[in-house]
A and B are shown apart, each in its own frame.
Chain A
């Protein structure tokens, strides 16, 4: 089955700096790559996603890039704010089936 690895496990940045989280996946058939944000005591919430027919997608301060050849994808957050502090998960799936999550990155944005 699909295996998703995520790095780093923790990330601390100053407010206003950029944050980058990277993931790799093992199954070349995977074609859907979402990113979820989880705040304490809550379920994960989708923040951005990308499909395999697209190399990059941006939504305001958040962007995701996908390299299908290398089987890795990354989340970029610019101009970080304290409210961006949370745990971020990447995931990969084949047509929305059997979605596998990475282990998570705890992002801390220091004011």
Chain B
């Protein structure tokens, strides 16, 4: 079974530039998450989708971050304009959202460096 795919793996930009990350979840997984992981910290939830609807975006800095999940499959996370403090690994995860398993399957992440 193919895992969660993310791209690009690495991105370096200057502050005030924009960047976009792409995620393809495991086939059949209805729920998709974007997490921000700053070096030395645990993942912080940015946004959670159920199919193509937003379940929780309370921690998403909406003045600069946006995310969409068209057709309930792939998702993109955009940052515009980027700040130095946005340097982090952006992790995408997906899950079945059934009652039996709550397991999140993570991709390898997209590492962003803002200079």
Which of A44, A102, A103, A104 has the largest number of chain B CB atoms within 10 A?
A44
Q: Are A42 and B108 also in contact (CB < 8 A) when A34-B102, A34-B103, A97-B55 are?
A: yes
Number of interface residues of A (CB under 8 A): 25
Is B44's CB under 8 angstroms from A49's CB?
no
Is A103's CB under 8 angstroms from B41's CB?
yes
Residues of B at the A interface (CB closer than 8 Å) are 4, 31, 33, 35, 40-45, 48, 55-56, 58, 91, 93, 95, 97, 102-104, 106-109
Is B102's CB under 8 angstroms from A49's CB?
yes
Q: Which residues between 89 and 105 of chain A lie within 8 Å of chain B, taking CB atoms?
A: 89, 91, 93, 96-104
Residues of A at the B interface (CB closer than 8 Å) are 1, 4, 6, 32, 34, 36, 41-46, 49, 89, 91, 93, 96-104
Shortest CB-to-CB span from A23 to chain B, Å, is 10
Q: Are A1 and B55 also in contact (CB < 8 A) when A100-B45, A104-B41, A104-B42 are?
A: no
* Interchain Cβ contacts within 8 Å, total number: 58
A99 to B40, CA, bound (A): 18
A69 to B33, CA, bound (A): 30
